[in-house]
Amino acid sequence: MPTKDIYIGTMSGTSADAVESCALNIDNKSVSIIGSYSTKITSNDQTKILNLASGMTTTAQEFGEINQLCTRYFLKSIQGLVRKNSFKHSRVKGIGLSGQTVWHAPKSKHPFSIQLGDPNYISHTLGVPVVSDFRNSHIVLGGEGAPLTTYFHHEMFKSQKSRLIINLGGITNFTFIKRSFVLGSDAGPANALMDIYCQKVLKKKFDKGGLIAAKGDIHASSVNEMSKHSFFQKKLPKSTGKEIFNLNFIPKKLLNGLEGLFNEHQMFVNKVICTNYAKTLIVTEVDNLSKAGLNIIKGSNLNEIGVIPKKIKKIGFFEKLFHIFS
């Protein structure tokens, strides 16, 4: 019985923290997974890639060097995949190189999309045909260039039932399948914003397991502000990336961390003796904000949190004294 052909796909997502590779058996009737392999990208190299993707000024030489740097990661991941699953390069009929996206502009005056990763180097080194530049091929044909997973979803999940597949990567995308009808589109940000917030404000690489987010509450005014962006008004299908959903997209009041939250609602952390008295002056809405602030502050003594209302009900001797101490 003939052995099925092996195909390999390799890519890196918007976080640029690792390269993922997967080997598949494919024939006209079925697709089956042989195995996968992940190669971690060092923090130093990750920073270089993310700086490029954020639009920081660079030179042609620096761009070329980062491109070849990424290429080595893709090659290393593919070689690790082959070793781990004990098959020879000669059995691999083709490699799909999605690459590392650093800029995506399908609706610019001259539409384009840029992915790092040199297919020529990988093909020559392994002696295997490499297919790449998927996004630009899609854009030339009138598409958005992303999400490309729509085609895979349709092949794997098509049936008589309607299906909706949602992918939460750096960017959120979805595929809707209803018999022969297929629609795929980006929907907005996901981990891209959470990661940058963790790194810049919380000084963590990312929110592992979503534990930080699980303890939070929805900041309605910020959500409303971000939802007004023109991307959300565009018709489907559409695509996006870190060109839009980056640090500059997050409202400044959120980037200021706790200090910004306190200033916005006139909350101050002080060792004051009249906190309980101050609470009697607070209107209900502000009191709720106070309690939300207390939940955020870990390890603080509740008696050291004071809240100054925007409008004090009455001004007397004790009120003036409170303002002096605070």
Q: How confident is the model at residue 309 (pLDDT cuts 50, 70, 90)?
A: very low
Beta bridge partners of 9: 22, 96
- Give 23-49 pLDDT, tens digit per residue: 999 877 778 899 999 999 999 999 999
**Does residue 21 carry a pLDDT above 70?**
yes
pLDDT attached to residue 148: 85
Cβ-based burial of 98 (10 A; exposed 0-12, middle 13-18, buried ≥19): buried
Residue 92 has pLDDT above 50, yes or no: yes
pLDDT at 125: 96
Per-residue pLDDT band at 317 (split at 50, 70, 90):
low
Same domain for 202 and 292, yes or no, is no
Which one of 142, 161, 185 terminates a domain?
142
Structure tokens at 34: 């042989």
- Alpha carbons 170 and 150: distance in angstroms, whole number: 16
> Are residues 47 and 22 part of one domain?
yes
Q: Cα 249 to chain center, whole Å? A: 13
Identify the three-state secondary structure at position 19.
strand
255, 281, 305: which is the final residue of a domain?
Answer: 255
Across residues 226-255, what is the average pLDDT?
88
Does 131 lie in the same domain as 55?
Answer: yes
| 69 and 124 belong to one structural domain | yes
pLDDT of res. 2: 46
pLDDT, the chain, mean: 81
In this prediction, residue 323 has a pLDDT band, given cuts at 50, 70 and 90, of low
pLDDT at residue 118, rounded to an integer:
96
Alpha carbons 216 and 204: distance in angstroms, whole number: 16
Structural domain containing residue 238:
146-255
- Asked if 24 and 128 sit in the same domain, the reply is yes
Q: Percent of the chain beyond pLDDT 90?
A: 40
Categorize the per-residue pLDDT at 80 as very low, low, confident or very high, splitting at 50, 70 and 90.
Answer: very high
Same domain, 138 and 18: yes
pLDDT tens-place string over residues 102-147: 999 888 899 999 999 999 999 999 999 999 999 999 999 988 888 8
Clarify whether residues 193 and 182 are in a common domain.
Answer: yes
**CATH number assigned to the domain comprising residue 205:** 3.30.420.40
Question: Does this model's pTM top 0.85?
Answer: no
Same domain, 80 and 204: no
Q: 83 and 132 in one domain?
A: yes
Number of compact structural domains in the chain: 3
Question: Does 155 or 319 have the greater pLDDT score?
Answer: 155
237 and 278 belong to one structural domain: no
Choosing from 255, 289, 315, the residue where a domain stops is 255
More confident site: 291 or 252: 252
Of 105, 218, 240, 244, which Cα lies nearest the Cα of 173? 240
State the Cα–Cα distance between residues 36 and 159, nearest whole angstrom. 27
Q: Are residues 133 and 163 in the same domain?
A: no
Residues 135 and 9 in one domain: yes
Q: How confident is the model at residue 315 (pLDDT cuts 50, 70, 90)?
A: low
